[in-house]
Amino acid sequence: MESRRDVFQAIADPTRRAIIMLLAVSAMTPNGLAEHFNSSRQAVSKHLQILTECEVVSPESRGREIFYHINTQKMTEIEKWLEQFKLLMSRKFDQLDNVLNKLQNRKQ
């Protein structure tokens, strides 16, 4: 539970993805979240720790409860990466188009 700590690592685990979805609807406490899963409260707490470390989530203390909120901003990193990917893909098709155009020009 130490090293690689980024958004992609954060969403790799299905339980963490479920936590993210729940928190997207409303901020919740570890106990509140744990009710939705089979694993123990401490297990959920560990996931929250990981999510906090990569800033996907941030804790807000209210009395003895801690509400965890989604950090939307961090989630956009995934989107950025996907955009980059799609850009590279589209360029590939552009190059293919160029090849096809040249072939067509030769035929003319």
Q: Distance between CA 58 and CA 48 in Å, rounded? A: 9
Question: What residues numbered 87-106 form the site for a copy of itself, per CB under 8 A?
Answer: 88-89, 91-92
71 is an interface residue for DNA by CB under 7 A: no
Looking from the CA of 46 toward its CB, the CA atoms found within 13 Å total 8
Backbone angles phi, psi at 90, to 5 degrees: -65, -35
Which one of 33-41, 44-52, 59-67, 72-80 is the stretch in contact with a copy of itself (CB under 8 A)?
72-80
5 vs 102, beta carbon nearer a copy of itself: 5
- Which residues are paired to 62 by β-bridges? 65
5 is an interface residue for a copy of itself by CB under 8 A: no
65 vs 94, beta carbon nearer a copy of itself: 94
Q: 63: left (phi > 0), else alpha (psi -120 to 50), else beta? A: left
7 vs 34, beta carbon nearer a copy of itself: 7
